[in-house]
Amino acid sequence: MSKKKIIVFIQARIGSTRFPAKVLKKVLGKELLLHMYDRVRQAKTVDDVVIITSVNPENDLIVELCKKNSIKYYRGSEEDLLDRHYQAAKKFGADFIVKIPSDSPMADPAIIDKVLSLWITDNDKFDYVSNYHPPTFPDGLDVEGCSFSILKIAWIEAKKPFEREHTFPFIWDNIKRFRIGNIENPHGNMFMTHRWTLDYEEDYKFMKRVFEELKDKPDFSMEDILNLLNKNPEIELINRMHTGINWYRKHEGELKTVTKDQYYKNEQHP
């Protein structure tokens, strides 16, 4: 059997109502989007990394950055992220599609590998894998993905706006139909207490400080960040006012994600 091609698609755009052009903000002289791209590429299980943006003209800046740095890219729908991922997966021949949003510049390659190992080890057992159901890792280290055949089912059948906007809800909301695999944080649930995602200017200031403090170790891990924050607790205070807000789960009126207990109370998982 030939090896399955695993591609990470980093969705990026300029238009952000909360913090415009956030992915192009620089740290240590380099755009955060490039920092993220370089970090994701370090994952051993990943065959390729592609930036996917929209056809909106303002995103020409992202395309120019990709061209300048010889990074593969795709342009698709602004709002229909499910279609954008599906069309990009077709173009680049992905057997397994990994979604990581560009608001995750501190993505950890080791965590990516751990999530994907669920599917690589036994791809007949899971249709979709993540570290997000329930979420226990610091917000900003999210990894989720599914096989192309499963993504195609969602692409054909998903009709609700949030199912199209967020790519995978059709899959992980149909747990009786699809087999969901998930890993949990060995350190315990940190999702609601550690905010490492990029939505506000304070998040940028926080990340800038982390990257600068760990500049001698560009492949820094989640553990490295936790150690840094333990020694320098004032860093975490920079964006503490936004901790707990998670815009990815804003559909159905959720501004904060469900807890692990709430998740398992109503749903069954393998």
pLDDT in tens, 105-115: 999 999 999 99
Cα–Cα distance, 29 to 35 (Å, whole number): 10
Q: What is the pLDDT of residue 268?
A: 30
Cα–Cα distance, 137 to 141 (Å, whole number): 6
Which residue stretches of the chain are H helix? Answer: 32-41, 60-68, 81-92, 109-121, 148-157, 161-165, 169-172, 201-213, 222-231, 260-266
Q: What is the pLDDT of residue 267?
A: 32
Q: 192 in a domain, yes or no?
A: yes
Q: 1 in a domain, yes or no?
A: no
Say how many domains are in the chain.
1
Residue 152 has pLDDT above 80, yes or no: yes
- Residue 107: CB atoms within 10 A of its CB come to 25
Torsion sign across C-alpha atoms 58, 62, 68, 70: negative
CATH of the domain at 85: 3.90.550.10
Q: What residues are paired with 73 via a beta bridge?
A: 51
Domain range for residue 121? Answer: 6-266
Q: What would the pLDDT profile of 185-237 be if each residue is shown by its tens digit? A: 999 999 989 999 999 999 999 999 999 999 999 899 999 999 999 999 999 99
Q: What would the pLDDT profile of 138-147 be if each residue is shown by its tens digit? A: 999 999 999 9
CB 261 within 8 A of CB 221: no
Q: 165 in a domain, yes or no?
A: yes
- Residue 242: CB atoms within 10 A of its CB come to 17
Q: What's this model's pTM, rounded to 2 decimal places?
A: 0.90
With CA atoms as reference, report the closest residue to 192 among 240, 264, 230. 240
CB 9 within 8 A of CB 97: yes
Q: 180 in a domain, yes or no?
A: yes
Q: What is the pLDDT of residue 246?
A: 62
Cα–Cα distance, 115 to 106 (Å, whole number): 16
Core vs surface per residue 168-197: b (16+ CB within 10 A) or e: bbbbbbbbeebbbbbbebeeeebbbebbbb
Do you know the residue count of the chain? 270
Q: 26 in a domain, yes or no?
A: yes
Q: What would the pLDDT profile of 153-193 be if each residue is shown by its tens digit? A: 999 999 999 999 999 999 999 999 999 999 999 999 999 89
Query: At 216, phi and psi to the nearest 5?
Result: -80, -5
